[in-house]
Amino acid sequence: MSPKNHKTFVGRETELRAFRRMVAKPYGKVRILFVLGSGGIGKTKLIERMLELKEVDKLGILMPQNPLDLSTTQLRSIDGIQSKIIEVIETLTGLKEEQSPFAEFFKDNRNTSEQFNRCLREFCKKTPLVLAFDTFEVLGTVASNWLFAEGDEGLQVPGLVCIVAGRSEKENLQRYTVNPLVKPIEISGFTIPEIEDFYQKIVAETSQGIAAAASVREEDLGSSDFRHLQKITNGHPLKLEMAFRWAGTILSTKSLVDVTYDQFEKRIMQMVRDYGADVVLDASHLDVREAAYDIFVCMGYVTRRFDQKILKFLVDEGYIRLNSDRVEEKEIIEHLERYFFVKAQTVEGEGIVLRLHDEVARLVREHLWSSPDRAEEKQRLLISVIRLYDQMIKDAEDEDLQDTLRIEQLYYALERDPLDTGKRLWLDLADLDDEYINSLLPGEIKDYKKDFDLETRHEIHVRIAEMEYEAGHITQARGEREMELELGKEAKRNDWIASALFGLANCERGAGKSLAAFQKARIFCEKHARGYLPRVYYNIGFAYRKLQDVEKAIRWYRKARKEFQKNSQDKALGAQIANDLGYAYSHVGNWGECRKNVKEGQKTRKSLLLQIEQEINILETKWRTSKSKAQKAKLHDELNRKKKRLSKARFQLGLSYNTLGEIYRYDEDLDASLSNYTEAHELFKKVNNPRWQAKSLFSRGETYRRIAWARYKEKDESGYVENIKRAEEDIQESLFLCERYRIKEERDTANRRMGRVLHDRALHELEKGNKQDARKFLEQAKYYFEQGLKYAVQTDEDLEELSNQTELAFLYDDFIRVIGRGKLPQEHRDALDNLKRALDKHRKNPFKIYQFPVFENLYKLEKAAVNYQARKYKQALKGYLEGYIGLAADPGYGRTRYKSHFSHLTRQIEKLPRREAEVWCRAFIDAWEEKRFLGGRRSTLAQEEIFPDLVQWCWEYIHTNKGRD
């Protein structure tokens, strides 16, 4: 807190006591002081006062001098806040680079939210810390949630005490105030004694300045005057300070009588306008007062940044009267801070940056700029600032800074002419489809939406809905779609209504609700907007697939394709339908239809990509040869839009390659699988999509794992080592991407895939007789499966929950081999029972996963494996028979798992005593030749094309080992 603020601070003892109690227990249950109140009520001053408390130093708690102002553009994202916190801690400790508490965070592939959390947690474990955040209301949903979150990804850790200040009107505040870590405090206006104390402190702080100039002296204000001041300001500190610092007619006994609460702002700002530079008649030089007043007025609109570069520009343009030969910049800044509610900060790389209190800026706009005679001057000011930003954007070498400047320029364009220039710039920025820019665009346009015509309002609502949906802000996206629906009804536009119904269905959480919403959209579209039907039918199919009803999914995908063929203009949609139809066919084992459809979609996507690349080449040639500056700018914007289309086309083609990678892996064509996953990964890297990079990497890692095991079975040790290493590297990188970009929904699979690699390494060591190393790898595998299970439960992914539970159960018999049944810890013994309980729970689910019978059969296999280790061969054989028959009878995922577990069965048979092994072989031959219903017809497993061929293997084993003991 500046000395000025410290001297004039009044009251707030209740809030200060709450903070003192909190910092006395930095490892307690309540560690966030949430300060709420209206603009200008004194939240910032309260935070600054808290950060000045000397007793905190005595407690050995680190505390910065200033809060983090979240209104700064760079601090509106999680990454930006993390960087600033690291800077604060390094400054407080003097530890940087290798000695920094965050040294691990800066290492390759470590700069994730989890690593940040680990570093902060470790630091605060030994050194309690206070951090303060101001202007919380400007923060988006994702960053706001992170600020209050515990766990291994949020900011909150034991030993960290946070002060968060924000306006009471911020949306969804309750989700933060009910957090058990939080103590919310709503601050209000001053009492009459506090008002009197406040006035006396301001008079004392300014020495003779205000008192000598005011038309009223301190002694002229009696108790009735302070009561009236309390009445007309509601004790609002900022309004009181304006009156006290701008001492003039408003404080005269005569003026106080007829001013009401509703008139206060208008009257005092009228006084400022009338008095101009002489509003404060202190002893300052006239040149100082003139320059300070002009800056103050300009800052009413120039709010996004006001540094020395902008100050010089406004002086050069004639908006600010400043004679640098007669006055020093320091004098002007002191005057601004004393009388005009301006804060000055020195920012590295930017010099001195000025910031006007946002509530005062509002008053300046509404009362000093609103008169008709200043309209032209306001336009000239905004046009000048927009022109300055053009140059600043051009000069900026850093892309992030360019994007920040573009958003700031948009603010001025909307202020100048929201219905034309501002609207066009907003739409142009939306066309860029940049993640960072998209995160800020909704906030910039929100106050203007209602002023546009219906067509423009519709377009803006749709654009924002798409941005919010892509960012995972489903509640916000739903709100925009609801507005679109209302506009559609108002304008009687069936196409808008159809679009809104479609968008609202996409916003539904859970496949069941989504299906119901798409069925509602279908009924409307079949009557009024048939052009939407291909997409609606496709999404109904997708919802059925999520509900594990694959047959219905296929039926609706086929309806979507049939409807699409009637109007095949949107080739990208046709490719999407074909791709997903093919993928659905893989679930039922129809590999012919599967490959045909996926390759059809891939072919279409390749042609679309080629077409867009050709269009870009033509545009680039036109841009290079154009002589017209205006034409060049137009072509540049068109190129940017086309490149965004190219990015989307690459992404869609990547999805085709990724799907083929999975299909080839299911079909054991591992080289083709590897090739397709690699193509997919390269495309996802080009379009900078971390989620799908992670998916393609852990999928390719799984393929490498299978290749490694195949090499090992071929006794190719070097091939095994090379491929298992690649598998581990791919999956490790995918885990990093999931951490770095907070992709929780893929971490269940990524962890499971890593667990599989480590399980294989354990089996490899077991085969070599290295039980100690095998146990180490089994423990590591167990950790990753448990992590995968945790994320699956958090994200309600039933398939991954059962998959990870199954993998944990599969470790059971291998732990027996390594540790011994008698020494086996109870947690390993519980694994099989845990899987049984999970199966029982999901068995009751009407929408249980399509592959559910597969997991029941896998449970039988593991139970059989445990009986096998106990030499209970009869029970083991019974379980293996039931499990392998069940897998082989399922033409989809079951046979895929049958193939992957085939070698386990054959190894188990080979380890049996010869006579027992022959009993097992004949039992499997009999089972495979037994008539049963397969795919709705009576047949035998031996007649099916199920590879590897178990009957053939069993006969070969019997003949090879005939006559041996």
In DSSP notation, 380-428 reads HHHHHHHHHHHHHHHH--SHHHHHHHHHHHHHHHHHH-IIIIIHHHHHH
In the predicted model, is pLDDT for residue 799 greater than 60?
Answer: yes
In the predicted model, is pLDDT for residue 876 greater than 70?
Answer: yes
Q: Contact 12/210 with Cβ under 8 angstroms?
A: no
Q: Which residues contact 803 (CB under 8 A, 6 or more apart)?
A: 748, 749, 752, 788, 792, 855
In the predicted model, is pLDDT for residue 256 greater than 60?
Answer: no
Does domain 689-849 correspond to CATH entry 2.40.128?
no
pLDDT digit string, tens, across residues 289-348: 888 899 999 999 999 889 999 999 999 999 998 877 778 888 889 888 888 889 888 877
With CA atoms as reference, report the closest residue to 731 among 764, 711, 706: 706
Predicted local confidence at residue 277, as pLDDT:
55
The band of 6, judged by pLDDT with boundaries at 50, 70 and 90, is: low
The band of 223, judged by pLDDT with boundaries at 50, 70 and 90, is: confident
In the predicted model, is pLDDT for residue 210 greater than 80?
Answer: no
Q: Which residues contact 956 (CB under 8 A, 6 or more apart)?
A: none
Average pLDDT for the chain: 90
The band of 208, judged by pLDDT with boundaries at 50, 70 and 90, is: very low
The band of 209, judged by pLDDT with boundaries at 50, 70 and 90, is: very low
In the predicted model, is pLDDT for residue 638 greater than 90?
Answer: no
Mean pLDDT of all residues in 273-286:
62
In the predicted model, is pLDDT for residue 245 greater than 60?
Answer: yes
φ, ψ for residue 931 (rounded to 5)? Answer: -70, 135
- Which range in 76-80, 281-285, 297-301, 447-451 is most confidently predicted, on average pLDDT? 297-301
Asked if omega into 418 is within 30° of 0 (cis), the reply is no
The sign one gets for the Cα dihedral 924, 930, 932, 937 is positive
φ, ψ for residue 127 (rounded to 5)? Answer: -130, 105
Assign a CATH topology to domain 3-186: Rossmann fold (3.40.50)
pLDDT digit string, tens, across residues 557-605: 999 999 999 877 899 999 999 999 999 999 888 989 999 999 999 999 9
Using a pLDDT cut of 70, give the percent of the chain over it.
95
Q: What token pair was written down for 750?
A: 């990524």
pLDDT digit string, tens, across residues 413-455: 999 999 999 999 999 999 888 888 988 898 899 889 999 999 9
Dist CA 783 CA 351 (whole Å) = 50
Residue whose tokens read 């072919």:
603
Mean pLDDT of all residues in 892-919:
93
Name the CA dihedral angle for 50, 54, 55, 61, rounded to a multiple of 10 degrees. 80
Predicted local confidence at residue 473, as pLDDT:
77
The band of 58, judged by pLDDT with boundaries at 50, 70 and 90, is: confident
**Amino acid residing at 606:** K
- Could you tell me if residue 309 is left (phi over 0), alpha (psi between -120 and 50 degrees) or otherwise beta? alpha
Helices marked H in 111-252: 113-126, 141-148, 174-177, 192-205, 209-213, 223-233, 237-245
Using a pLDDT cut of 90, give the percent of the chain over it.
65
Dist CA 677 CA 665 (whole Å) = 10
Predicted local confidence at residue 220, as pLDDT:
55
Predicted local confidence at residue 278, as pLDDT:
61
pLDDT digit string, tens, across residues 527-552: 999 999 999 999 999 999 988 889 99
Dist CA 492 CA 478 (whole Å) = 21
Dist CA 888 CA 593 (whole Å) = 20
How many helices and strands in the chain, by DSSP H and E? 43, 9
The band of 619, judged by pLDDT with boundaries at 50, 70 and 90, is: very high
In the predicted model, is pLDDT for residue 846 greater than 80?
Answer: no
In the predicted model, is pLDDT for residue 213 greater than 50?
Answer: no
Q: Contact 123/101 with Cβ under 8 angstroms?
A: yes
The band of 16, judged by pLDDT with boundaries at 50, 70 and 90, is: very high
Q: What token pair was written down for 383?
A: 């046009």
The band of 54, judged by pLDDT with boundaries at 50, 70 and 90, is: confident
Q: Contact 132/162 with Cβ under 8 angstroms?
A: yes
Q: If one looks up domain 286-368 in CATH, what number appears?
A: 1.10.10.10
Predicted local confidence at residue 279, as pLDDT:
52
